Homo-oligomer: A and B are copies of this chain.
Amino acid sequence: MTDVEHPGATPPKVREISSRGHALLKDLRRLATDPGAYRKLGRVWLEGDHLAKALAARGGRPSLAVVGASAWLQPRWRALALAAPEVVVLDDALLGEVSSLETAGPFGLLMDLPEQAAPPRAGVSALVLDRLQDPGNVGTLLRSAAALGVPQVIALKGCAALWSPKVLRSAMGAHFALHLVEGVEADALDALGLPLLATSSHGAQALHTTHLPWPCAWVLGHEGQGVDAGLLARCALTLTIPQPGGEESLNVAAAGAICLYESARQRLMP
């Protein structure tokens, strides 16, 4: 069967694991439950078929597929698993223990963590995340950056871990379309050589009436405190999102979507 699915290629190595104490399972449990474990282990755990397909669509390569014993009997999951160079078939009961989901799926991939020493890319438009705490917000912002044409995301020190299971789930595969940098100090932004833009309720100019530079780096800040004052002072523009509804505030991922959309709109308009 494998030589049909991999014509001419080396068929993947397939092994079964049914022992809870296996070293691989220990690693997977850590990756599923500890948001920062990927940094220590150098590997990322991608649960479910959506992330697998998103990775493949961007030409990414997993190191290992993990599939439940029941799913392994189904052609759909078997084909997905056999696209990896190595397959582990796991007791269904054990699979639930390595999931970060309420309802565990029957499938996941391990991939090597992309190079973390990669510095910010100079001159490439970026989204800068200053101490964002909520993984759902971070994931949503990664998705917006990928869709709205911002190819680079830089998470400053203190930001939620970019490759954690919750951020991965919320970003729906956007990770694989972006150049991601994390754990850097704000000083590293100088190397971008780009104007920094931020929103602020005390912003000097309104977003919708200001000509926005491109390329640029949009800075978004902590859910409660906003952008750090020192960083805000370094921004070339601080902009106010018009709020005809009054003095309400926007969720940071909603504000980010609006800023990246306005940036895109101005580029696309003749």
Contact = CB atoms under 8 A, between A and B. Distances in A.
A170 interface: yes
Contacts of A262: 261, 265
A202 to B, nearest CB: 16
Given A253-B254, A254-B257, A264-B242, A248 B208 contact: no
Interface in A221-270: 241-246, 248-251, 253-258, 261-262, 264-265, 267-269
A149 B244 contact: yes
Interface stretch (A62-70, A106-114, A136-144): A136-144
A249 B267 CA distance: 20
A173 B245 CA distance: 13
A229 B256 CA distance: 29
Contacts of A264: 208, 242, 244
Given A244-B264, A264-B244, A268-B242, A250 B136 contact: no
Contact of A208 (B150, B253, B256, B268): B268
A241 B147 CA distance: 9
A114 to B, nearest CB: 18
Contacts of A246: 146-147, 177
* Nearest 8 Cβ contacts at the A-B interface: A149-B244, A254-B257, A147-B248, A149-B245, A140-B251, A146-B248, A258-B261, A208-B265
Nearest to A251: B140
Interface centre among A139, A143, A267 (most CB of B within 10 A): A143
Interface of A: 136, 139-140, 143-151, 170, 172-174, 177, 208-209, 241-246, 248-251, 253-258, 261-262, 264-265, 267-269
Given A140-B254, A148-B245, A208-B269, 6 more contacts: A149-B245, A151-B245, A208-B268, A255-B257, A257-B257, A261-B262
A111 to B, nearest CB: 19
B243 A148 contact: yes
A268 B241 contact: no
B243 A147 contact: yes
B244 A177 contact: no
7 contacts: A136-B136, A139-B251, A140-B253, A143-B248, A147-B248, A208-B269, A255-B257
A250 B208 contact: no
B249 A147 contact: yes
A10 to B, nearest CB: 31
Contact of A249 (B143, B145, B241, B261): B143
